[in-house]
Structures are given as structure tokens and as C-alpha cells.
């Protein structure tokens, strides 16, 4: 039986979500029925993002077939460098990378080094391997809107979505596992909160 590792950050009222108890709660058989208003920004907590984030003709989150949200995955751990841009040769040499197969999801741990970023070349490397999805440990995959590495352009051109803000990296072994991504079904948007789980044999 597989062990389930939840990689999802919880949404916490006042931090990354606004939770409000609705006024005038209905009463059912003598009990108030609790109902909540939830206001969530798309790029907060653990989220799933598709190619229409950059390209208006790209896929929205609701257009991804459910079968594509259950996938084989390879977990790679980078070590050493605490700064700078991740290049393809570093990923290829990392522990766990020998198990990467065409069509896999790829999760890259950076040993808590939140200031690592990815290059255009690494995105092209992922595209050449026809990856199903990419996720990494740092909260920001590129260097920002000013002087970006341009990582997302070839990544989304290759049709590779991302999952961001994952947690419990220390529970993930190097090598292969199964990955389940369950985004909210919201029509016509590129980024939605998601529950992300790894299944380890």
C-alpha cells in the first residue's frame, strides 16, 4: 500500500485567505448551518498554474483533463550551491535524476535554499523531455518581473504547467513516486489553489 505525503500548504485565515462567517445563517432542525465566504488570491498557498498565465491562447486550469492530474513523478535533490540560477547540467547530475523519464512530472528540492532560480536553458531541457509538470522548493522560480531569467517562456511554450509553494519536502525520497494534483475547478483562469499529494510505495 502506498504512503501518502501531503505537499499542500494549508490556507490560514488572515495570512493567505480571508474567511468570513456569513450573516443571517440559516437554521436547520434547530441548528445554525455554518456557511463561509472565502476570498483567496490565485497566487498564494499551494497552487496549480497553466500556460495561459503568459499565453492567452494557452490552457486554463479547467481545461486540463482529470487523467492528466494523476502522473508518474521523479524527485530530484540539488545540493551545494545556495545562490544563483539552476542549469540543466546541475539537474542531470543531481541525486534521483537518473530515474527521470519522458512524460514525468519533475519535483526539484533545493535543500531549503529559497534563493535558487531556473534558467531558460533548464526550461528548454524540461521541454525536450516532454515533462508533464514541474514543481520546485523555492517560492519564486524566476528572479521576478525585473530582469527575469525568462524561465517561464520556454516552459509554457512547451505546455508544461507548474505547482508552486509545496511543503513537506523532507518527507520525499529521491527517485520515483506518483503525484496527484487536484486543482479547484474554476472556469477560465490560469491559476487556482490545489491539493498536491505524493504516493510513495
55 touches 87 (CB < 8 A): no
What pLDDT digit, counting tens, does each position of 4-29 carry? 999 999 888 888 889 999 888 889 89
Residue with cell 501531503: 6
Average pLDDT over residues 134-156: 85
d(CA 200, CA 157): 31
What domains can you pick out in the chain, each with its CATH number?
Answer: 3-10+42-200 (3.50.30.50)
As a whole number of Å, the end-to-end CA separation of the chain is 7
Provide the pLDDT confidence category of residue 164 given band limits of 50, 70 and 90.
very high
What share of the chain in percent tops pLDDT 70?
97
Residue with cell 508544461: 160
What pLDDT digit, counting tens, does each position of 63-98 carry? 999 999 999 999 999 876 666 888 999 989 988 898
d(CA 163, CA 145): 19
pLDDT exceeds 90 at position 143: no
d(CA 38, CA 21): 9
Amino acid at each position: 500500500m502506498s504512503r501518502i505525503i501531503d505537499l499542500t500548504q494549508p490556507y490560514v485565515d488572515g495570512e493567505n485567505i480571508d474567511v468570513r462567517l456569513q450573516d443571517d445563517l440559516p437554521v436547520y432542525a434547530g441548528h445554525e448551518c455554518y456557511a463561509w465566504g472565502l476570498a483567496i488570491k490565485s497566487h498564494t498557498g499551494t497552487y496549480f498554474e497553466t500556460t495561459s498565465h503568459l499565453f492567452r491562447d494557452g490552457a486554463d486550469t479547467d481545461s486540463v483533463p482529470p487523467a492528466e492530474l494523476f502522473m508518474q513523478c521523479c524527485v530530484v535533490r540539488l545540493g551545494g550551491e545556495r545562490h544563483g540560477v539552476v542549469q540543466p547540467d546541475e539537474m542531470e547530475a543531481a541525486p534521483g535524476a537518473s530515474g527521470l523519464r519522458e512524460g514525468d512530472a519533475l519535483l526539484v528540492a533545493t535543500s531549503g535554499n529559497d534563493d535558487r532560480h531556473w534558467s531558460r536553458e533548464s526550461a528548454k531541457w524540461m521541454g525536450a523531455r516532454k515533462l508533464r509538470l514541474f514543481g520546485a522548493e523555492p517560492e519564486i522560480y524566476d528572479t521576478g518581473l525585473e530582469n527575469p531569467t525568462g524561465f517561464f517562456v520556454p516552459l509554457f511554450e512547451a505546455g508544461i504547467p507548474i505547482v508552486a509553494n509545496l511543503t513537506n519536502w523532507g518527507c520525499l525520497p529521491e527517485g520515483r513516486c506518483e503525484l496527484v494534483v487536484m486543482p479547484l475547478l474554476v472556469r477560465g483562469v490560469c491559476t487556482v489553489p490545489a491539493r498536491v499529494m505524493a504516493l510513495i510505495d
